[in-house]
Chain A
């Protein structure tokens, strides 16, 4: 149906029917290409999406809990630039696939292990951005705070952290998109995310594979936009005017 409709408008639009079929797959269950079981449909899509979100946000949350304090501390004392930037860059250069393969081979499969691998993937951008965000804070503002009698921890909490927040959230945003995209390969390590549609295309068929790709892309885009909104919301008014 979709194909005929698309062809009627213009023959070159026939490829659109592929997308129509992929949407069908998302909303309607059908027999698996290999037979015997029902696949697709909103219920299954939601199950995979939920698992995908769960493992992604668990990883991002844990990465924040580790990277932000370290970044703040290093930024505050102004030391460890090598650690914060160089080591992080090395971390970012390691392909996520290799990271997951390493974890699975040496530690094992399952939710926790895959999540830990994703945490390692998520830490570098957050750490770097936190460090840089703190270092970029105007020295005069910090000196003024010290002059008013703020203790070091108060300088961190009341001046450096708020002023670094836009940068920090920029880092989280980068990490989040990375993690959501990488969680696609989790079914190779025992966690059924949306990637199963892509990795088991023999079962779900080409429609299922395209549906999976569309869903992962949509999820990554949503996460990106959501964090962009948060980033704007947490920017102090003074900084917003500047940029």
Chain B
């Protein structure tokens, strides 16, 4: 018993210290909250402090945007925020107006689109390096009172697409390989492509390609024209569902960097960002770490090909990756 006393005293002392440390940790947690959900812990923890913050997540009006909007919305909900969705805003101009007007608090935008469409940066002036493009966009957004969060790993950009058989027949893997062959090839792209530096004009000027004919066509026909043999070459997107569901097509490597990098950044108003605290940033960053090009193609395919809803697809992604239960 006697011997036991000092031990007890020691234990008590330990307990006091431990408790102090725990309290400190707890207190710290309440303020910056995310030391608990460290990068290694994948699941998003709901923080009761967020319950008073309303966040309306927006998106533009196509598949990839619907999915991204759902992913961010569901993740933020899991983090404890009160989330509303407005996922069909139309073009980027409308989305930006909705964001500035406070109709939505944040939405996913492509860095290349933001730079060219919002900030009048010409396509050839967009940094070729994805990280530089993102920081350029972040600076410009900051001037507008908007916060652009760190980007997704995937980049959604134009790409030169061909049937694999045709590419093998011609022996091409890079866009520059088309030199000397393009005069016999037909190119199909959106009507806009014809006069864009980050499309036909760039392919002609930077690669010195001269196609037999450029035919403008609705964007949703970009694979059909390849399938039907009308187009030898078609302008497609790097995250297209078709690239994951079929190995018929390949994209040629853009070795001279004509197509600017289009990583997605979640853009929020400064007001929302301040009100929401640090969980907004950590949650956004966390859920998008798994979004590589391959994964994004697959998610797009689940909606466009398998006809699942973006909501279900987003939920499945978050579950499979362990972000939510």
Contact = CB atoms under 8 A, between A and B. Distances in A.
Nearest to A187: B191
Contacts of A104: 217-218, 221
Contact of B195 (A39, A101, A109): A39
B28 interface: no
B197 A196 contact: no
Interface string B165-189: 0000000000000000000000000
A188 B124 contact: no
A190 interface: yes
Contacts of A89: none
Nearest to A108: B230
Given A104-B221, A200-B192, A202-B192, A37 B216 contact: no
Interface residues of A, number: 22
A203 B228 contact: no
A110 B215 contact: yes
A188 B195 contact: no
B195 A37 contact: yes
Contacts of B69: none
A32, A34, A104, A196, most chain B CB atoms within 10 A: A34
Nearest to B197: A36
A187 B194 CA distance: 11
A192 B216 contact: yes
Contacts, number: 67
A101 B197 CA distance: 28
Interface string A105-121: 10011100000000000
Interface string B106-129: 000000000011000011100000
B217 A203 contact: no
Contact of A108 (B191, B194, B205, B228): B228
B224 interface: yes
Given A35-B123, A35-B124, A104-B221, A196 B215 contact: no
A189 interface: yes
A109 B217 contact: yes
Interface in B207-235: 215-218, 221, 224-225, 228, 230
Q: How large is the interface on B (under 10, 10 to 19, 20 to 34, 35 or more residues)?
A: 20 to 34
B196 interface: yes
Interface of chain B: mostly helix, strand, loop or mixed: helix
Contacts of B217: 104, 109, 188-190
A70 interface: no
A98 to B, nearest CB: 13
Contacts of A105: 221, 224
A106 B69 CA distance: 34
A190 B216 contact: yes
Interface string A30-58: 00101111010000000000000000000
Interface in A165-219: 187-190, 192, 196, 199-200, 202-203
B215 A190 contact: yes
Top 8 nearest A-B pairs by Cβ distance? Answer: A35-B122, A188-B218, A36-B197, A200-B192, A187-B191, A190-B215, A200-B191, A203-B195
Interface of B: 116-117, 122-124, 190-192, 194-198, 201-202, 205, 215-218, 221, 224-225, 228, 230
22 contacts: A34-B122, A34-B198, A35-B124, A35-B197, A36-B122, A36-B195, A36-B197, A36-B201, A37-B197, A37-B201, A104-B217, A108-B230, A109-B217, A109-B230, A188-B217, A188-B218, A189-B217, A190-B216, A190-B217, A196-B216, A199-B192, A202-B117
